[in-house]
Chain A
Amino acid sequence: MSLGHLQHQATHAEDHAEQKCEMSFPQPKPEVPQLPQNLLRTIDCQQGAVRAVRFNADGNYLLSCGSDKSLKLWSVSRGTLLKTYSGHGYEVLDADGSYDNSQLCSCSSDKTVILWDVATGQVTRKLRGHAGKVNCVQFNEEATVILSGSIDGTVRCWDTRSRKFDPIQILDEAQDGVSSLKVSEHELLTGSVDGRVRRYDLRMGQLHVDFINSPITCVCFSADGQCTLTSSLDSTVRLLDKSTGEMLGEYTGHKMKGYKLDCCLSSKDTHVLSCSEDGHVYCWDLVEGSLMLKLPVGKAVVQSLSFHPSETRLLTAMEGRVQVWGAEPEETEEDVVVVQQEKA
């Protein structure tokens, strides 16, 4: 659904409400979309700086990528460490979980991509081929392909089914490092430091390149698959129409000038969220573009964030901690800090 459509709907709804108000039966007001403004818990990951934090496919677990070469799996609801995956040679930069929670993939500064078995914690496959550190990694929908984008300017498509260690295809259209990467049903969205967002349409066999003129830090698909969200180093998050490339919204106010920080859309596509270097998470209304929430996370840079796939729940990563934010405070608020007793 495009933004124009959204707008149209919104005005319609208002008109409707006014009409109803004039009549004697006031309609219950539409529910205000809730924002993840309450801190539910803070997890001290103890793996160095957390480079990325990701929900799994159903949102019950989270993955934290540490700079101490480890990848950790946590329970979101209880904040307990479930598994530590070690095998990378340098800091882990991104991770993703398969749709069936049976496999994980992660990428690292050691130029490798690792496919993990969730249960055993063993390395299923270690994929080498990138010439530089690998910034981002994603499974496709059926976890048959791992796509990894690297600072060497290529996106490599690795086959998880075959025993070959060569990528299926190398997408080397980017003229600079690939910083972010998302996969939808048949599309591949990459953001590159050369200031371009590339969308590879496998079904149509086309490559659409949108010029942003600033290094891209993060790209996202909207949940309806009609829009793309890009954040770039000019401290702007832009919502672009996927089919035409027109700009539907521009979200500013945060600070993103030097670090590769994440942005995302809320699960219902109602809000746009972005990390900021000023220690806040900015949350804008998607349609209006107005800043709805400026979530104070801490004093340092908010490195990464991830929105729950269905609920109003947000993960943020700052320094060595991961924070879980929810719409309403949980009753058990006393366990704010869960320190893991795992002593090696």
Chain B
Amino acid sequence: MASDSDSDGDFVTFGTPLEPLEEDEPLRKPVPLHEQTVKDEKGRYQRFHGAFTGGFSAGYFNTVGTKEGWTPATFVSSRQQKAGRQNARPEDFMDEEDLGDHGIAPRQITTTADFASGRKDVIRDKARAITSLSAPIPGDTVLEDLVAPARSSMGVELLRKMGWKDGQGVGPRVKRRLCKQRADSGTRAFVSASPPNGLSGSQDEEDGEFVPENVTFAPKDVTPIDFTPKVDLHGLGYRGLNPLAALRGGPGAGHINLFTMDSDRSNSLFGEDRKGQRRRGGVAGQGFGVGAMEDDDEDIYHRDIMSNYDTVLGGEEPGDGLYGWTAPQQYNRKKKDAAYLGKILEGFTLASDKLETKTIFPPPNLPRDFRPVHYFRPVVDLSSVSPMVAQALQTSRGHMAQEEPSKGGRHQLDSAQRRELLGEATLQGITESLLNPSRFTPHAEQQQQEALSVWSGPTAQAQTGQTFKPFERTPHKQARYDLYIDQLKQGDRDALELSLDPTMTEWERGRERDEFVRAALLYKPSSSSLSCRFTRGKQDDGVEADTVEVTRDQENDVDDKQAAVKMKMFGKLTRDTFEWHPDNLLCKRFNVPDPYPGSGFVGMPKVKRDKFSVFNFLTVSESPTASASPAPQGNKQSVPLYPDTSHFISRKRSRWDVSGQAGNKERKEKDPVSEFLSVARIEASGSGPEASTTDGPTTDPTVEVLVPSYYIHH
């Protein structure tokens, strides 16, 4: 560190300046690491340790700074050295570098805060005032003020040079408005001019002083909020009973407000002392009784007045002008609309948000010939009128689409619908709708009818064993369901009511009724032509299994492949590749490594699907196209063999069509009828080979490869 005394004297240089760069000078070689030396103030070489990358040097020839180095001081018993200094100060662990000018604890003579008296710090002054009051000699600040040495920080000095005066705020000067907080805060206004007459503010009006236009004011000083940490265990804002104040204050001091704000207290402190205030010793106050020394015991049990407390949360604008610490909208909000000035009733305030105006629609214009009499449509029972009328009624009501979902054909109509179509009269007797009038929506009733018609059909009669047991988990329910199905099969119209448990509640029965009808419709017997192709699975899946295992990878579309085969485009189109896991033992027997070591399963990866998922049965739909599809491929073998139909496939002449062979001649003399037959048969066989085989291998396949049924008799 060196200071240039010859030059301005104001500059301080610190460190070694870099040598000035000259442009033409070639780059100098960097100083190698071992030549980079460091000396201390006394010119001794210093060596860096690993601490060079951020630590202290150990000093004293690479020792800790002592001759002994790292060797520990011998233990000294504290028994004999009790009087010795016990507690170590931080300075004990500092070396001279730390204590130097730029160390962490510089040793130099400075004015400590205790003796400083520079600017008039409001908070500090207040604090000092309080302490002075509580001090044994009250008002000793006067003395302090007299003898305090001047001290001001560098920032204050700089500010002063820039024209700042004590007590002003920092910032550009304001045109006219001056904050009024100075008078409130109890400190004297420093500005020579009196506060300007602002547009608002009662005090300005009270003063009524003239403020010239060209006068600017310094911004008001912002009192920093003192964020003193709360160290006691009192409630917020509670100050506790200061014993000093309590001792000092007599009954004349009145109620020691434990909750008063700082400003109030300072007000009372800085304001003129009350006239009759006597300083007396002794214990007094709310918390203490009246001692023997007291001559008057009035107001021992001070009744607290509620006006001592704040009743509104953040209600009034605090007079301390802490604008920097509050949201500005709160104050802007207070602006009153000029239109309402003086018109607001007492006790009312302006609404913050506007009321929504309601749009009122006028009543419709009535046509001239309107007669205010309602005509009720006659309720016509649809089943009692002819179908034409019923249909007309329904369309007029607009219920047509809802009530009749889809008439798939005459076989899907139930008896009532057929009766409607035929125009027959209704059967005599109590109908179900009369039996339970409000229970059924027409839709549910129709479903019930449908279930009845489905289950009472001949296919259901032929099917002896019921395959689906939807309520197998609850045997009682399943039994009731079976009963219901049995009665449905017998064509009993009241099947549902008879099968339900009468002991159950109405609600439960209603639910079960719905479930049964739905289940009966869902698991309705498949048509006999389809069902005979399938056999029951050998092992029952059990009660728990609601899912079936389906191979994860499904084959591509078969139609595409058939088209590809017809075009003889074998290859990618006709090939599917799946992941397949051989058994570990099989791999061992074949002397190949297991391709999926540790895989838990063999065969194709399977996924669990919902047992009655739509996707599992997509291919066995009962649609007429599937049921009308021709017999699967294998049946072709049972078709009587036609001669000379072996060559229709290769119509196209290719190099595989070898000329000069017997088949060629046959082809020429083939009649067109047989060719047509064969083509038709090929198309038929190609269209639906998968229909029967999608459900996995059946134990009784209809397809089998025949061998010549030839037998030699000796």
Residues of A within 8 A of B (CB): 46, 48-49, 51, 67, 93, 131-132, 135, 140-142, 144-145, 151-154, 157, 159, 161, 168-177, 179, 185-186, 193-195, 200-215, 217, 233-236, 238, 240-241, 244-247, 249-260, 277, 284, 288-291, 294, 300-301, 303, 319-320
Closest CB-CB distance, A116 to chain B, in whole Å? Answer: 19
Contact B658 A177 (CB under 8 A): no
Residue among A171, A249, A258, A300 making CB contact with B603, cutoff 8 Å: A171
Contact A217 B705 (CB under 8 A): yes
Query: Complex Cα distance A175/B636, Å?
Result: 17
A254 to chain B: which residues have CB within 8 Å? 646
Query: Complex Cα distance A257/B570, Å?
Result: 21
Query: Complex Cα distance A51/B663, Å?
Result: 27
B568 to chain A: which residues have CB within 8 Å? 247, 250
Residue among B564, B637, B646 making CB contact with A255, cutoff 8 Å: B646
Query: Complex Cα distance A257/B682, Å?
Result: 12
B707 interface contact, C-beta 8 A: yes
Contact A49 B712 (CB under 8 A): yes
B626 interface contact, C-beta 8 A: no
B647 to chain A: which residues have CB within 8 Å? 235, 252-253
Q: Which residues of B (133-189) have their CB < 8 Å from a CB of A?
A: none
B578 to chain A: which residues have CB within 8 Å? 206-209
Known: A207-B580, A252-B649. A145 touches B693 (CB 8 A): no
> Which one of B15-23, B199-207, B367-375, B583-591 contacts A?
B583-591
Q: Which residues of B (681-702) have their CB < 8 Å from a CB of A?
A: 682, 686, 689-690, 693-694, 696-699, 701
Contact A206 B637 (CB under 8 A): no
Known: A151-B701, A159-B585, A176-B701. A257 touches B633 (CB 8 A): no
Closest CB-CB distance, B575 to chain A, in whole Å? Answer: 4
Contact A215 B650 (CB under 8 A): no
Residue among A176, A212, A234, A301 making CB contact with B708, cutoff 8 Å: A301
**How many residues belonging to B are interface residues under a CB distance threshold of 8 Å?**
73
A46 to chain B: which residues have CB within 8 Å? 714
B346 interface contact, C-beta 8 A: no
B655 interface contact, C-beta 8 A: yes
A159 to chain B: which residues have CB within 8 Å? 585, 589
Q: Which has the most chain A C-beta neighbours within 10 Å: B561, B575, B580, B590?
A: B590
Contact B689 A289 (CB under 8 A): no
| 19 further interface pairs, Cβ-Cβ under 8 Å (given A176-B693, A245-B571) | A135-B705, A144-B589, A145-B589, A151-B701, A152-B699, A169-B586, A177-B701, A194-B693, A207-B604, A211-B562, A233-B633, A233-B637, A235-B646, A240-B570, A244-B575, A252-B649, A256-B646, A259-B707, A289-B658
A142 to chain B: which residues have CB within 8 Å? 589, 591
A170 to chain B: which residues have CB within 8 Å? 603
**6 contacting pairs across A/B (C-beta < 8 A):** A46-B714, A169-B582, A177-B703, A210-B570, A235-B647, A259-B705
Residues of B within 8 A of A (CB): 551, 555, 558, 561-562, 564-566, 568, 570-572, 574-583, 585-587, 589-593, 595-596, 602-604, 633-634, 636-637, 641, 645-647, 649-650, 655-658, 661-663, 682, 686, 689-690, 693-694, 696-699, 701, 703-708, 710-712, 714
Instruction: Write the chain B residue with the least CB distance to A187.
Output: B590
Instruction: Write the chain B residue with the least CB distance to A183.
Output: B590
Contact A195 B689 (CB under 8 A): yes
Q: Which has the most chain B C-beta neighbours within 10 Å: A177, A202, A251?
A: A202
B570 to chain A: which residues have CB within 8 Å? 210, 238, 240, 245-247
Closest CB-CB distance, A236 to chain B, in whole Å? Answer: 7
Instruction: Write the chain B residue with the least CB distance to A169.
Output: B583
A157 to chain B: which residues have CB within 8 Å? 583, 586
Query: Complex Cα distance A328/B693, Å?
Result: 48
B593 to chain A: which residues have CB within 8 Å? 203
